[in-house]
Amino acid sequence: MKKREFLAAGVAPAAVAALSPIGAWAQSGPIRIGEINSYKAQPAFLDPYRKGWEMALEEINAAGGVAGRKLEVIARDDGGNPGDAVRVAEELVSRERIDLLVGGFLSHIGLALTDFAKQKKIFFLASEPLTDKIVWQNGNRYTFRLRASTYMQTAMLVPEAASWKKKRWAIVYPNYEYGQSAAASFKALLKKLQPDVEFVVEQAPALGKVDAGAVVQALADAKPDAIFNVLFGADLAKFVREGNTRGLFKGREVVSLLTGEPEYIDPLKDEAPEGWLVTGYPWDQVNTPEHKAFVDAYQKRFKDYPRLGSLVGYVTLKAVGAGLAKAGGADTEKLITAFRGLQFDSPVGKVLFRPQDHQSTMGAYVGRTTLRNGRGTMRDFRYADGAQFQPSDAEVAGLRPKD
């Protein structure tokens, strides 16, 4: 009987392990990928993300899998809590006998999984968490990261922000690892280009608990020339609505991470701001052949349009497939070697994992928000290649522990 048949029959995982030694199973069964994410806590991004990796999984297996073996994903919810994420990761390793781990959305959970990978010596591809620490201060040989980090995304925005010569800046961000990392990167990079800049007020509400009226009033009272915003999801919607009502954005430039992503700009509808400088994903305006093929396949499969989560989920599994193929299987040490310098094709072009810090060069779309046909979207956008927005190798060496 196969392992899943034992499980269906109610046989305990320990009994299955005894009947199916890990070496034999690892060589004959599917390559088992553990996937952990905050599906219930962050559905706007992660429901499309799941569809994305499901589509990639279907494509890889339809083509014969990798090294003659199919891929199998065992997905679990982390409850939006680092402790639960580690507990679930332990269950995936000990009970489900996964070969590698992927996932993560919230940055503090990504850091917990990064440490878990180091302790358990298991390969981990962090798909979405954006904090710089995942590949720098807390980086380790077992962890790689796909999405452009907070440093990279702020570096894409700062040159234009500096060109405005706005001296007095306000900053608003969710008070957890991602928001703190983004704010720190923005302040350091802007100060480097514009030494006389002043940060006159900071507001850091707890994630999901923004008091938009109080935040907007505090920013307005400081009379900033420009605003850097890192809020997303429901917090962003409340901030935009209250800011529009009180005239906070009138006559002020706004730089805003993630606001151009469909997950966050679509719910704003006709309240979407005009002219903010953002990172995002104008899925319906990207006309490269590889991207159009992805969009067409996604719409055919799900009868829906892709969000950025869809793209990230899809590219995550494509990266895993490419790495497994290069490694010739799921051996952890061979996977690490394979991913260092791994280059593969994606809907946004070629992506490479840098050997020096395990960060991918997947970029982001940068442009201005606008209203079109009663909904928010992006205009005047460009694709910013992540390879162009990295610190020097010497700087990375100073930030990252030696493996």
Can you tell me the mean pLDDT for 227-242? 97
CA–CA dist 350, 140 (Å, integer): 24
CA–CA dist 219, 235 (Å, integer): 15
* Percent of the chain residues past pLDDT 90, beyond the cut: 92
Confidence of residue 13 (pLDDT cuts 50, 70, 90): very low
Q: How far is C-alpha 30 from the geometric centre of its chain's CA atoms?
A: 26
Q: Which residues of 91-112 are buried (b: 16+ CB within 10 A; e: fewer)?
A: ebbeebbbbbbbbbbbbbbbbb
Compute the mean pLDDT over every residue in the chain, rounded to the nearest whole number: 93
Confidence of residue 67 (pLDDT cuts 50, 70, 90): confident
Q: Look at residue 323 in the predicted model and tell me its pLDDT.
A: 98
Query: Whose structure tokens read 């890192």?
Result: 230
Q: Look at residue 27 in the predicted model and tell me its pLDDT.
A: 58
The answer on pLDDT for 276 being more than 70 is: yes
Residues 6+ apart with CB under 8 A from 143: 114, 117, 118, 124, 125, 126, 134, 135, 358
The answer on pLDDT for 17 being more than 70 is: no
Can you tell me the mean pLDDT for 59-75? 96
Q: Look at residue 24 in the predicted model and tell me its pLDDT.
A: 36
Q: Residue 113 to residues 73, 199, 200, 245, 301: CA-CA distances in angstroms?
A: 17, 33, 35, 41, 31
* Whole-prediction pTM: 0.92
The answer on pLDDT for 54 being more than 50 is: yes
Domains contained in the chain, CATH given: 3-148+287-363 (3.40.50.2300), 151-286+364-393 (3.40.50.2300)
Burial class (CB in 10 A: 0-12, 13-18, 19+), 276: buried
CA–CA dist 51, 47 (Å, integer): 7
The answer on pLDDT for 6 being more than 80 is: no
The answer on pLDDT for 4 being more than 90 is: no
Query: Whose structure tokens read 């850097």?
Result: 228
The answer on pLDDT for 21 being more than 50 is: no
Confidence of residue 42 (pLDDT cuts 50, 70, 90): very high
**Strand pairing partners for 372?**
375
Confidence of residue 170 (pLDDT cuts 50, 70, 90): very high
Q: Beta strand pairing status for 277-280 and 253-260?
A: parallel
CA–CA dist 164, 162 (Å, integer): 5
The answer on pLDDT for 314 being more than 50 is: yes
- The helix-helix angle for 107-120 and 82-94 (nearest 10°) equals 40
Q: Residue 165 to residues 158, 170, 224: CA-CA distances in angstroms?
A: 11, 14, 13
> Is the CB of residue 46 less than 8 Å from the CB of residue 37?
yes
Tell me if residue 87 falls in helix, strand or coil.
Answer: helix
- Residue 20: how many other CB atoms lie within 10 Å: 18
Q: Look at residue 28 in the predicted model and tell me its pLDDT.
A: 65
Give residue-wise pLDDT tens across range 76-103.
999 999 999 999 999 999 999 999 999 9
Q: Look at residue 5 in the predicted model and tell me its pLDDT.
A: 36
Give residue-wise pLDDT tens across range 321-372.
999 999 999 999 999 999 999 999 999 999 999 999 999 999 999 999 999 9
Of 188, 26, 36, nearest in space to 112 by CA: 36
Q: Look at residue 402 in the predicted model and tell me its pLDDT.
A: 86
Q: Look at residue 403 in the predicted model and tell me its pLDDT.
A: 78
Tell me if residue 395 falls in helix, strand or coil.
Answer: helix
**Strand pairing partners for 144?**
125
Q: Beta strand pairing status for 143-145 and 31-37?
A: unpaired
